[in-house]
Structure 1
Amino acid sequence: MKVTFLPIVSFLFCVNILFAQNNILRNNFDEQLQDDLISKSYVTPKKIVWLSDQDNKYVKNQDVLLSGFDGQLSTSGEGMCILRSDKDKQASILLDYGTELYGGIQIAAAIRGEKKPVKIRVRLGESVSEAMSNAIDNTVPGMNSATNDHSLRDFTLEVPWLGTVEVGNSGFRFVRIDLLDEDVEFPIRSIRAIFRYRDIPYLGSFTCDNERLNKIWQVGAYTVHLNMQEYLWDGIKRDRLVWLGDLHPEVLAVNTVFGENEVVRKSLDFGRNTTPLPGWMNGISSYSLWWVIIHRDLYLRQGDWEYLKEQQPYLTSLIDQIVSKIVDGKENLDGGRFLDWPTDGNKDVIHSGLQALTILTLEAGKDIAGWLKDKGLEKTCTDALALSKKQQPSHHGNKQAAALLSLAGNLSPNAASEVILKDGAKDFATFYGYYMLEALAKDGKYQEAIDLISNYWGAMLDLGATTFWENFVYEERINAARIDEIVPEGKYDIHADGGAHCYIGLRGSLCHGWASGPTTWLTKHILGIKVLEPGARVIRLQPHLGSLNYAEGTYPTSHGVLYVKHVKQPDGKIKTTYKAPKGVKVVH
């Protein structure tokens, strides 16, 4: 099958190639298969991180594992990697595939004298620490937090004589193999990663004169792409579920990078169909609120009136349910009361956030009602909004609450910015960080937002990230080791030592779709692409370059791909050129 990752849209894609991380899909797979919407490629490891010995006694000729393999074994046993064991020691090897992947591994075992399977242990890891962890070893802090929740990442198996075995589906970059049988020599031709992904073109792109921002855009795009599996997941190792609230930044990123994709509707419908009212999606009231907001934002970008019309019965009943939980304008939502993990347990902050989210949901409902010409739903939302906006809850000095209150119009943009910008990226969050950036944009603080993106998301790149994480505490970067190295003595293990709530230590996900917000934000505010009418029929171009000298990129619409370029002139003014598809009106 021919790879179709690089869309033939414009010369720009020669710059914005599919995966910046080592060109994995362009150059580093040996063969490719496809099953319906999910494709499969085989990826050769990039380097050997660690061996159990360095004297060629237990591991020999290991570099053969870094060479290409066409998938076919032969009866020749020459030139194989040899893992050896005796009663004193077993061979082990740790491989690095260069970037985060979703899938499993294929082990190709060469011919050997004894015709029986060989038993090995496999450990997959998003970091070196996770791949090296021992779940039963409580002597090393954090190491026992690695789990097999949601996907197997630590397991044993038998590899056949002169044959291949394929196993595992998880998110990983590193693989450790341990030979478990005693007194054997185990010849191996190849240990390849099996990469599962949607073979879809990157229609959206972003390039500017700041390479760090370019990389952040690309990594955000790749992060959400990996989570576009059978459904739109939140994580590929853990949280391989449809979390409806977490979906909001993911859906925005999907629309920014790929345009319309069936995985979005499939996931939204899954949430609706598995949540009969009066239930809340995922048991969390705010997640049902986000479902309404997502549908407003999706229709604005895609303009599929028939699909929006399908949501009308459920959405109307859901809005009625939300309104029934408003008392004198104050939200009183039941079910799980949750914004994001950093604010979990802070009841006052959660109320402020939920009050703002209720207003944002009612505004989305009002927009949808207008598009559907549903006067009853429009009145319900309008009346509830009038009451809800009279409430003025405190932001409590919290960045999440301040951001939401500003976006809902319950806090002045300047007051929100003061809270969000305090101590820079301290107390930023991978999920709600996007809404903090949006609140800064509302206040015209574009350069400050650019700096926060560079500092916060960029710090993950500095620590070896190739996808963005479920959680990142900015202060923990100090004295932290990179995730692609064995942690030196005296260094902080950014994966094993941190975390809380459901992501303690190595259980934390290093590829979480909700962290892809900067990709959407950079396209929306640096390229200045704002959709004004449903189906992107009208788009405003209003770039905010800050200290940048130029920015260019593309944006997918249901009419085709919009191309824009902004260049700062000597007098500081910005010259904009663009090419819009037929059916899209551009104003600027």
Structure 2
Amino acid sequence: MKVTFLPIVSFLFCVNILFAQNNILRNNFDEQLQDDRISKSYVTPKKIVWLSDQDNKYVKNQDVLLSGFDGQLSTSGEGMCILRSDKDKQASILLDYGTELYGGIQIAAAIRGEKKPVKIRVRLGESVSEAMSNAIDNTVPGMNSATNDHSLRDFTLEVPWLGTVEVGNSGFRFVRIDLLDEDVELPIRSIRAIFRYRDIPYLGSFTCDNERLNKIWQVGAYTVHLNMQEYLWDGIKRDRLVWLGDLHPEVLAVNTVFGENEVVRKSLDFGRNTTPLPGWMNGISSYSLWWVIIHRDLYLRQGDWEYLKEQQPYLTSLIDQIVSKIVDGKENLDGGRFLDWPTDGNKDVIHSGLQALTILTLEAGKDIAGWLKDKGLEKTCTDALALSKKQQPSHHGNKQAAALLSLAGNLSPNAASEVILKDGAKDFATFYGYYMLEALAKDGKYQEAIDLISNYWGAMLDLGATTFWENFVYEERINAARIDEIVPEGKYDIHADGGAHCYIGLRGSLCHGWASGPTTWLTEHILGIKVLEPGARVIRLQPHLGSLNYAEGTYPTSHGVLYVKHVKQPDGKIKTTYKAPKGVKVVH
């Protein structure tokens, strides 16, 4: 019998041709093409905050900018927003997109009689004040303290005839547009924000009978989410860099809300690969210490032994370097000596904090050595710990130092609480505030910590925040205007007139990942979810509701999502129900 294979051969030939055609795009670029992991969406403005005039002479039909737009212009020029200028005045408009976001703007300009491009000025702002400001001098507070450092947020561009233009990559909520050319009319169909973000599910959750705490958890989660760009950044407006110390509260929040995400490893490896020893990450010794601590905390949550093993050569050499800076148990770290901005320049407090961080790092190194079965590294850490713990530096009445010393076991939890609770949220900070909350939890001061979260982080919400800030001086809330309004006469401008150090005035970041600590804290201490063994194989449930009547939520693990619910009974006892994924043992 004769068998022919021609149909099959022809089919395979066609498939191969189609496959080759499907790769025409990529083949055109050879090795030049790089995929973008970041999603893009368009956001319509939520409201108009301000216009240059109210009589429709220079700005007309502005409400069309608040209507939906599918992205396609037509040859019809009807129903457009008109910006007009003459020799006396130029049109201006200030838009509010409702919440902080990262990206740029898309301007769709309609058909008009003159085809010459029209020049406009664009100002992006995390606050109304920033969008209304000038970038002149950011060494002093005030309405001229905005900056174009790290990302352009004040610039001019030309808008085409019957076309769209996309521009910008910064963190903002507000956009001001000024028409610069004289004697022109610019018809605009839309001014949409271009929102860039990782399109990932929120696997973690938190709900209780206190809506303020619920909102704080959500805003902390959103704050760190926005900073999950190609790398895990400190802030989306500024600095848009990988600061390894900032990463500790960020990594904890990412794991609490999203579970495992490649941006964490990518950023940790970036810090390692760009810092050959004996250098310190970001030039700051404490930031290399935080890198070690992060790896311990990450392994506990994700349990990826192979990834941890990859760190062993660098981590071992780094631990040796840290130990070489210990003299008679006293840290003598070189490089930049830094904890957080509020303590900057206070040498005594910084020493106390670095002594505590050295102990915490050696403890993390010892844990890692045990998991890796590295007896040499384990002995190095154990011997250095024995010497370091003999040192008992003072907290100097400083909340940051007291918190770290307590967590390191060098100060009694009660003594630390006395310092941290003095004057309530005064002298709190968005970065090290997380460690203050942790120290209070260690002393069993859960209700006090809840109150501080509500007062301190909640005050930012009261001032119009949709993300948490680089820093916030609690006392400045008094007589302060909201960031989503033009500052009334006699009110304090919390953005323009505040700040210090590198975040003077409007240079200050209003979306900073290190401020997301309450999200992690509420999950770990109110829901009581504490990982005990690597990979979250064993989780302890020990809720602390304080004055709350119930709390429930979810927590992502590498095995699946854990669900828990706690309800306070009439006798004050707490009834707990949970559903754990296979592979997770729950003890409570």
- Quote the offset at 1:6 in angstroms: 50
- Quote the offset at 1:116 in angstroms: 1.2
CA distance, structure 1, for counterparts of residue 2 and residue 506 of structure 2: 37
Q: Alpha carbons of 1:57 and 1:4: their partners in 2 closer, same or farther (altered >3 Å)? A: farther
Q: Alpha carbons of 1:26 and 1:51: their partners in 2 closer, same or farther (altered >3 Å)? A: farther
Structure 2 gaps of 5+ residues are none
- Quote the offset at 1:18 in angstroms: 40
Contact kept in structure 1, 2:125 and 2:174, CA below 8 Å: yes
Secondary structure at the aligned position of 2:228 is classed as coil
Contact kept in structure 1, 2:135 and 2:148, CA below 8 Å: no
Structure 1 gaps of 5+ residues are none
Contact kept in structure 1, 2:141 and 2:506, CA below 8 Å: no
CA distance, structure 2, for counterparts of residue 404 and residue 515 of structure 1: 17
Q: Alpha carbons of 1:26 and 1:505: their partners in 2 closer, same or farther (altered >3 Å)? A: farther
Please give the per-residue CA displacement for 1:80-119, whole angstroms capped at 9, x wherever unaligned: 0000000000000000000000000000000000111110
Which residue of structure 2 aligns with residue 268 of structure 1?
Answer: 268
Q: Alpha carbons of 1:582 and 1:20: their partners in 2 closer, same or farther (altered >3 Å)? A: farther
Q: Alpha carbons of 1:139 and 1:493: their partners in 2 closer, same or farther (altered >3 Å)? A: same
- Quote the offset at 1:32 in angstroms: 24
CA distance, structure 2, for counterparts of residue 177 and residue 295 of structure 1: 45
- Quote the offset at 1:36 in angstroms: 3.3
- Quote the offset at 1:260 in angstroms: 0.2
Please give the per-residue CA displacement for 1:154-208, whole angstroms capped at 9, x wherever unaligned: 0000000000000000000000000000000100000000000000000000000
- Quote the offset at 1:37 in angstroms: 1.5
Please give the per-residue CA displacement for 1:291-317, whole angstroms capped at 9, x wherever unaligned: 000000000000000000000000000
Please give the per-residue CA displacement for 1:263-289, whole angstroms capped at 9, x wherever unaligned: 000000000000000000000000000
- How do 1:2-21 and structure 2 match up within 5 A? none
CA distance, structure 2, for counterparts of residue 571 and residue 20 of structure 1: 71
Which residue of structure 2 aligns with residue 382 of structure 1?
Answer: 382
Q: Alpha carbons of 1:256 and 1:227: their partners in 2 closer, same or farther (altered >3 Å)? A: same
Contact kept in structure 2, 1:5 and 1:18, CA below 8 Å: no
- Quote the offset at 1:139 in angstroms: 14
CA distance, structure 2, for counterparts of residue 344 and residue 198 of structure 1: 34
Normalising by structure 2, we get a TM-score of 0.94
Q: Alpha carbons of 1:174 and 1:359: their partners in 2 closer, same or farther (altered >3 Å)? A: same
Q: Alpha carbons of 1:422 and 1:17: their partners in 2 closer, same or farther (altered >3 Å)? A: farther
Contact kept in structure 1, 2:141 and 2:505, CA below 8 Å: no
- Quote the offset at 1:136 in angstroms: 3.9
Which residue of structure 2 aligns with residue 170 of structure 1?
Answer: 170
Q: Alpha carbons of 1:42 and 1:327: their partners in 2 closer, same or farther (altered >3 Å)? A: same
Contact kept in structure 1, 2:353 and 2:400, CA below 8 Å: yes
Please give the per-residue CA displacement for 1:34-77, whole angstroms capped at 9, x wherever unaligned: 96320000000000000000000000000000000000000111
Which residue of structure 1 aligns with residue 84 of structure 2?
Answer: 84
Contact kept in structure 2, 1:57 and 1:84, CA below 8 Å: yes
Which residue of structure 2 aligns with residue 232 of structure 1?
Answer: 232
Contact kept in structure 1, 2:136 and 2:146, CA below 8 Å: no
Which structure: larger Rg?
A: 2
CA distance, structure 2, for counterparts of residue 476 and residue 5 of structure 1: 82
- Quote the offset at 1:24 in angstroms: 36
User: Are 2:407 and 1:407 aligned?
Assistant: yes
User: Are 2:150 and 1:150 aligned?
Assistant: yes
CA distance, structure 1, for counterparts of residue 477 and residue 246 of structure 2: 25
Please give the per-residue CA displacement for 1:394-452, whole angstroms capped at 9, x wherever unaligned: 00000000000000000000000000000000000000000000000000000000000
CA distance, structure 1, for counterparts of residue 579 and residue 17 of structure 2: 20
Contact kept in structure 1, 2:145 and 2:506, CA below 8 Å: yes
Secondary structure at the aligned position of 1:481 is classed as coil
CA distance, structure 1, for counterparts of residue 443 and residue 10 of structure 2: 34
Please give the per-residue CA displacement for 1:227-279, whole angstroms capped at 9, x wherever unaligned: 00000000000010000001000000000000000000000000000000000
Q: Which 10-residue stretch deviates more, 442-451 or 19-28?
A: 19-28
- Quote the offset at 1:12 in angstroms: 49
Secondary structure at the aligned position of 2:50 is classed as strand
CA distance, structure 2, for counterparts of residue 436 and residue 10 of structure 1: 71
- Quote the offset at 1:31 in angstroms: 29
Which residue of structure 1 aligns with residue 314 of structure 2?
Answer: 314
Contact kept in structure 1, 2:138 and 2:145, CA below 8 Å: no
CA distance, structure 2, for counterparts of residue 5 and residue 566 of structure 1: 68
- Quote the offset at 1:143 in angstroms: 1.5
- Quote the offset at 1:146 in angstroms: 0.3
Secondary structure at the aligned position of 1:172 is classed as strand
Secondary structure at the aligned position of 1:129 is classed as helix
RMSD: 9.5
Contact kept in structure 1, 2:108 and 2:191, CA below 8 Å: yes
Contact kept in structure 1, 2:137 and 2:145, CA below 8 Å: no
Which residue of structure 2 aligns with residue 295 of structure 1?
Answer: 295
Q: Alpha carbons of 1:14 and 1:554: their partners in 2 closer, same or farther (altered >3 Å)? A: farther
Which residue of structure 1 aligns with residue 587 of structure 2?
Answer: 587
Contact kept in structure 2, 1:32 and 1:41, CA below 8 Å: no
Contact kept in structure 2, 1:22 and 1:98, CA below 8 Å: no
Kindly tell me the number of residue pairs found equivalent between the two proteins.
588
Aligned-pair identity in percent equals 99
- Quote the offset at 1:3 in angstroms: 50
Q: Alpha carbons of 1:275 and 1:33: their partners in 2 closer, same or farther (altered >3 Å)? A: closer
CA distance, structure 1, for counterparts of residue 448 and residue 400 of structure 2: 17
Q: Alpha carbons of 1:504 and 1:4: their partners in 2 closer, same or farther (altered >3 Å)? A: farther
Q: Alpha carbons of 1:22 and 1:94: their partners in 2 closer, same or farther (altered >3 Å)? A: farther
Q: Alpha carbons of 1:156 and 1:57: their partners in 2 closer, same or farther (altered >3 Å)? A: same
CA distance, structure 2, for counterparts of residue 298 and residue 370 of structure 1: 15
Contact kept in structure 2, 1:21 and 1:99, CA below 8 Å: no
Q: Alpha carbons of 1:267 and 1:186: their partners in 2 closer, same or farther (altered >3 Å)? A: same
- Quote the offset at 1:386 in angstroms: 0.2
CA distance, structure 2, for counterparts of residue 55 and residue 286 of structure 1: 58
CA distance, structure 2, for counterparts of residue 227 and residue 297 of structure 1: 20
Q: Alpha carbons of 1:270 and 1:138: their partners in 2 closer, same or farther (altered >3 Å)? A: closer
CA distance, structure 1, for counterparts of residue 17 and residue 412 of structure 2: 40
Contact kept in structure 2, 1:131 and 1:176, CA below 8 Å: yes
Q: Alpha carbons of 1:458 and 1:16: their partners in 2 closer, same or farther (altered >3 Å)? A: farther
Q: Alpha carbons of 1:196 and 1:139: their partners in 2 closer, same or farther (altered >3 Å)? A: closer
Contact kept in structure 1, 2:140 and 2:505, CA below 8 Å: no
Q: Alpha carbons of 1:7 and 1:80: their partners in 2 closer, same or farther (altered >3 Å)? A: farther
Contact kept in structure 2, 1:137 and 1:143, CA below 8 Å: no
CA distance, structure 1, for counterparts of residue 321 and residue 374 of structure 2: 17
Secondary structure at the aligned position of 1:76 is classed as coil
Normalising by structure 1, we get a TM-score of 0.94
Q: Alpha carbons of 1:340 and 1:482: their partners in 2 closer, same or farther (altered >3 Å)? A: same
Contact kept in structure 2, 1:395 and 1:405, CA below 8 Å: yes
